[in-house]
A and B are shown apart, each in its own frame.
Chain A
Amino acid sequence: MKKKKQRVAVFLLLSIAVFAAACSPSPAPAPVEEGKNNLVSADAAQEQKGAKEAGPAYAMNPKAYAMEQALMDQLMPLPDLHKGERIGALIITLANPFWVAMKEGYERAGAEMGVEVVVMAAPTEGDTKSQLETLDAMVAKGYAAIIASPIEPFNLVPGVVRANKRGIKVINLGPPINKEALKDARGWLDGRITVNFEEQGALAAEYIVQKLGPAGGKVAIIQGIPGAGQSEGRTAGAKGVFENTKNVEIVSIQPGNWDRNTAYNLASNILQAHPDLKGIFCANDVMALGVVEALQAANKKNDVVVAGVDFIDEARESIQRGELDGTVAMSPFLLFPRSGATSRW
């Protein structure tokens, strides 16, 4: 039994590592801090410019590679892996580039370890009910373990309980499943590697504040779908930082519904009301990229600092071009140490 758990944990690690490799090409983050969300900004890209021109564009970031090695060493010896182990992964939606990259990460890790990994997702970012139904279907199929990333803290709780009853290990990765609700339902998690959304928002906001300098100025926040976990968490984090900084004033918090065109419209409308706006934080990169387009259309790109969250490919390229200012990666470096802990079950 213990072996099985351990295998799952190692698989998880590998999948994340591969995901990191897929997501972090050479001009990636310079200021890496362990245990934290990782800010990727234009300045960092600038510093790395020399390296980018020299090396292959999609090479593994050396720092990340080193860390991964260190981590793997800690975990040695790796348990024997039976070929043909079946693991299910439930992610949020394949309609979002971030999760598409996640799926690729899972699958590559599965291939590398000879584990059959089936990645399932909800049709859309807001479809909490379908995600639960998908989890139920996965439970019925009897995977050895299921790694679940819920849309919001509560939607998967009943499914997790059913998985517990059938003796399937459930690991919560990314957005957190609410612990209290799960406990009330007499369920439990076998492992937990979650992201701190507030921290992500705070990190991006700190970046914007730092770029504004002591003069500060007006800033705006574009949320995702109001009420969604990531959206509310990131908004709260950013809001906290902005509010606690002298000279920085939040003039508008608007719902962008994770939609690029909505964010575009919002940004241009906000600029009308606040022509002296200095910064915009968006709860994800897709919206941040829409905002960038709006700023360019209004010839204001150089006056406004824009930061998003997710570090999708398109955001990375936008940062390289000097358009988007910064984004927060859901850092694989954050996930490593904690996932090490999960191997102690």
Chain B
Amino acid sequence: MFPGARAFPEGELTLMKEDPQENEKSAAASVLGPGAVPIVLRVNGETHPLLVEPRTTLAEALRGSLGLTGTKIACNQGACSACSVWLDDLVVASCSILAIEVGERRITTIEGLAAGGRLHPVQEAFIAHDAVQCGFCTPGLVMSCAALLAGNPHPGEAEIQTAISGHLCRCGTYPHVVQAILALADAKGD
């Protein structure tokens, strides 16, 4: 689906495309690519060996190689936050990061939020407050809201608005999103 990203077949580790000439010249950090390079991505608690070209973005690797299509690509320019995932504990735009630079850091996608057959409280609140229209921006918004609550269980309206300020929702779900998270913030006992 995306050039240069595919699942990593067993036994292909030797394909590592280092350029021996380049590496000799620089006698420094190894030069990888431009062909596919083996990497390991830690996504939603699982470890995935993958082959990616250096130009493959994290969003492309997640959607193409790993089939985790919950993460959406809309602008592909860092300007809408539809592609938001967590890099360790930070919400980032996965279209603006290369898969090859993730390294050992943990990636969490929308698929990783539900636990034990139960939706994440933010997902439940989005449903209860009708905070979804077409849904294209929703996975990203949920990731931002869940990250906010993880660090701040009782955010006020202004904090919620700041947390979702990077998201473009052309269906205009913003007020319902804020209501959903305010309700969660009030409900949380801790």
Our verdict on whether A and B bind, yes or no, reads no
